[in-house]
A and B are shown apart, each in its own frame.
Chain A
Amino acid sequence: MDAERDKAPKPAAPDKAESFQSRKARLRASFLSQLPGRLADARRAVAELRAGEIEHARLDALYVLFHTLKGSGATFGFRQIGDAARTAEQAVRRAMDSGGHVEPTLPAELACLLDDLDALALAADVQADPDTAPGFELPGPQSRPEPAPGQAPDAHPGQPADRSQRMVYLCDDDPDLAAQLAGQLGCFGYRVRAFTTLADLRTAVESERPAAIILDIVFPEDENAGPKMLAELRSAEQETIPCIFISCRDDFEGRLQAVRAGGSAYCTKPIKTVELLEFLDALTNPHPPEPINVLVVDDDRELAQFHATVLEEAGMVAKAVSNPEQVLSLLDTFDADLVLMDMYMPDCSGPELSRILRQIPGHVSLPIIYVSSETDVERQHKALAVGADGFLTKPIEPARLVAEVALRAERMRILHSLMVRDGLTGLFNHNAIMQFLEVAVANARRGGTSLCFAMIDVDHFKSVNDTYGHPTGDQVLMALSRTLRMRLREDDLVGRYGGEEFAVVLNGAGVEPAKRILDALRTSFSNVTFFSDGQEFHCTFSVGVSDFPTFATPDALTEAADRALYRAKKGGRNRVEIATEQDALPEQSPDSAETSDGS
């Protein structure tokens, strides 16, 4: 052993000065933070088991998973986790010993054990070193909202909107930063392995290919060591591994090296976790991305249809309209990533239509590309000056059309996703959630379905901040946002409305199920134990709910939910109130300032 840096600091960088107890506590904590990921892996493998078939490979994988869990669970003193993993391991072993035959009961048996393990993981997390840091954990899954009998489509299973537990390698020579980032990304569902030397990273990549690498630029050995390592890895690998560079260097040279080495993104330190997550999500997403939506406007109906067909063949969703007047109403329901428009149309020219769109706040950033036979550069420039993004000259090669549209739409999507997220919680920000509410209301009206809008406000949040400090207050907000994201369906929308207020759009839900869901969330959040400076405390929240069609517009929904929330606060907090038609009327109460007054 020649030097400290030769050590493989996984999962947390060892620090020789640290006492064994605190090191153990840290290892336990990081074991627990990775546990949900491992269990999700197991769940996926179990879901893939086909009853009655011979499944050698899947059983082998499950065996290793449970066996490892048994070993490390027991090593860290989580006896029950170790025991449950052992039972699962033995069940898999029996199947392996019977020639790899999957008994019809095996998947259900394993799923049941995984439920136990999930609950144990959450319970164990609460106990994990309460003294070292403010922490939080959610109560076990047994308190998930139970779907009422016969109400399957409305049931909100505890489906975490996770990152599918993808494996990410992180390499930074600063062990503290590496451990901290790994922990944070772990909270958002990634499995992260942190390394402090490039040699360790290379060894790991050679043995198991990660979904992405997060790599520092500067290392002690070389100020461009990160990019050099990536270039080296790239030359050895068949497929390229997406890489995000993180660096305190914000100079051109550093960025150039990163781009030349093939880096997909570049984040400067201090790292904004949410920004990093956006890139990671985009780079590691195993699902094909949402198809690009394009609106094609051309008074020549056939040409509009032709362009739309070309784009559709490239996997996009295209809508063709020949009448510019239809564009605005179409955009209300069709979430276009880009508008392709003819420059010369008889009733309304392309530049005129662009100007109209640019005067509507929701469409300021919508990319617009003109299509025209105009070859006069002067006139092209003029047309672009009103706020369009590009110019394609007819006739257009189909391949070029697809490339131009895809390029602009994708870039705008990335920009958009960075703009709509709240920095602390990763939820949609105020503007975004309000825009989504508008779209959701329009969809509900068109489809004749219902939806609920809930405003959630943490009770006595100001006193949490005053008593325990803002970092602890932030932990409470993150815990609540995590509760909401984990427990709601993927097509429900969750946003941070502001401060300690959150907004949720429950698509397709009526008042009754919405109340049931929110009450379950409220109960489980009130059971969350928070830790700060060794002290334990609990938090609650109040909710106001309004529904469409009782309230017909986004404004009416938010106002009514706000009034219902006020009633919930006034009625003693920690409760869900449903907005009734009276809530539509402006309230005369003079003391209506109370809700915003640190409650």
Chain B
Amino acid sequence: MRILIVDDDPFAGAMAEAILDAEGHDCKLVESGVEALDALGEEHERFELVISDMHMPLSSGLDLFREMRDRGIPIPFVLLTGDDPEPLREQVPGLAACLTKDASLEVTLPAAVAGL
């Protein structure tokens, strides 16, 4: 699967990339919502999934998700958060998944992606 990963923390981003690469996915890593929108650009068909960190400076993962939907980009969206994901799951309908950023990501992330 072609996946766009958005994380302002290059280490966490690279880790998500490593996890998904190991599953045979094709990932691109960017560091902000703005870069993500650039990458999605005119032909968002290049990507089949967007995985974004929630808390980033300037614009959050949630902002990115809403902006994408506003622009009519329907790609499935997975949100990663360092906080409790439960409130986000409740507040934000339409997320493909909302996962906790911790060591369990090695298991939960491939599982969530495989379930799409």
Give chain A residues whose Cβ lies under 8 Å from the Cβ of B82: 67, 70-71, 74, 82, 86
Interface centre among A74, A86, A193, A203 (most CB of B within 10 A): A74
Whole-angstrom CA separation of A30 from B13 in the bound complex: 13
Interface residues of B in 27-72 (CB under 8 A from A): 27-32, 35, 46, 53, 55, 57
In the complex, are the beta carbons of B14 and A14 less than 8 A apart?
yes
Give chain A residues whose Cβ lies under 8 Å from the Cβ of B29: 7-8, 10
| B1 → A minimal CB distance (Å) | 11
| B60 → A minimal CB distance (Å) | 11
Q: A7-B29, A8-B29, A20-B21 are in contact. Are A67 and B55 (CB under 8 A)?
A: yes
In the complex, are the beta carbons of B12 and A75 less than 8 A apart?
yes
In the complex, are the beta carbons of A20 and B30 less than 8 A apart?
no
In the complex, are the beta carbons of B26 and A24 less than 8 A apart?
no
* Residue B103 lies at the interface, judged by CB distance under 8 Å to chain A: yes
Give chain A residues whose Cβ lies under 8 Å from the Cβ of B103: 74-77, 79
Interface residues of A in 204-260 (CB under 8 A from B): 204, 207
* Residue A72 lies at the interface, judged by CB distance under 8 Å to chain B: yes
In the complex, are the beta carbons of B18 and A30 less than 8 A apart?
no
B interface residue count range (under 10 / 10 to 19 / 20 to 34 / 35 or more):
20 to 34
Whole-angstrom CA separation of A70 from B8 in the bound complex: 13
Task: From B18, B32, B57, B101, give the contact of A27 (CB < 8 A).
Answer: B18
Task: From B12, B18, B19, give the contact of A72 (CB < 8 A).
Answer: B12
The residue of chain A having its C-beta at the shortest distance from the C-beta of B13 within the complex is A10
* Residue A64 lies at the interface, judged by CB distance under 8 Å to chain B: yes
In the complex, are the beta carbons of B15 and A75 less than 8 A apart?
yes
In the complex, are the beta carbons of A76 and B35 less than 8 A apart?
no
Whole-angstrom CA separation of A64 from B13 in the bound complex: 16
The residue of chain B having its C-beta at the shortest distance from the C-beta of A68 within the complex is B9
Q: A8-B29, A67-B55 are in contact. Are A27 and B15 (CB under 8 A)?
A: yes
| A14 → B minimal CB distance (Å) | 7
Task: From A10, A20, A207, give the contact of B18 (CB < 8 A).
Answer: A20
- Chain A to chain B contacts (Cβ below 8 Å), 25 pairs: A1-B2, A1-B26, A1-B46, A6-B28, A7-B27, A8-B29, A10-B13, A11-B10, A11-B14, A20-B18, A20-B21, A27-B18, A34-B11, A64-B55, A64-B57, A67-B55, A72-B9, A72-B12, A74-B103, A75-B15, A75-B105, A79-B102, A79-B103, A82-B82, A204-B31
Q: List residues of A whose CB falls within 8 A of some B CB.
A: 1, 6-12, 14, 16, 19-20, 23-24, 27, 30-31, 34, 64, 67-68, 70-72, 74-77, 79, 82, 86, 193, 203-204, 207
